[in-house]
Amino acid sequence: MTQREALEKMAKYCAYQERCQSEVRQKLFNSGLSDEEIENVICDLIEQNFIDEERFARAFVRGKFRQKGWGKIKIQQHLNQKQISDYCIRKGFEEISKEEYLTKLDEIITKKALNLTHESEFIRRQKTAQYAISRGYESNLVWEAFDI
């Protein structure tokens, strides 16, 4: 594959869905291009606005929070795996308001609590809290939600 062909292919890849540099780099790595050619393609994609890390972070945060109900901790871990900068991650989290975040946490807690049929209130609270924390919500917010 030539550098030009790779650029065209990656432009289509990025136009279909928001992508970050690490995803594009991984895809190009498997194409057999040299490191220098890969970096040139990525630079061209950035210049042509096909890749924008901040835009990617905002879209990722919106999608994972609204569609999958993930909390900030889990979202941040996944963005870190994709080598997104802390600045872009902070910008991405601006997509979630505090009220919306707490409302979603309450929904998750309520839904999970209704599905548990254990006799003990203690066990129900523990399992519900553990579930919300595993979804990426901060433990202090989870326990505060029980006290309300």
Around Cβ 144, how many Cβ atoms within 10 Å? 12
Percent of the chain with pLDDT over 90: 78
pLDDT at res. 13: 93
pLDDT at res. 121: 85
Q: How far apart are CA 37 and CA 61, in angstroms?
A: 31
DSSP states along 92-140:
HHTTS-HHHHHHHHHHHHHHHHHH---S-HHHHHHHHHHHHHHTT--HH
pLDDT digits (tens, 9 = 90+) for 13-50: 999 999 999 999 999 988 888 889 999 999 999 999 99
Residue 148, pLDDT above cutoff 70: no
Indicate the pTM of the whole model.
0.88
Residues 57, 94 contacting (CB under 8 angstroms): no
pLDDT digits (tens, 9 = 90+) for 79-135: 999 999 999 999 999 999 999 999 999 999 999 988 888 778 888 889 999 999 999
pLDDT at res. 116: 85
Q: How far apart are CA 76 and CA 73, in angstroms?
A: 5
pLDDT at res. 15: 92
Residues 65, 96 contacting (CB under 8 angstroms): yes
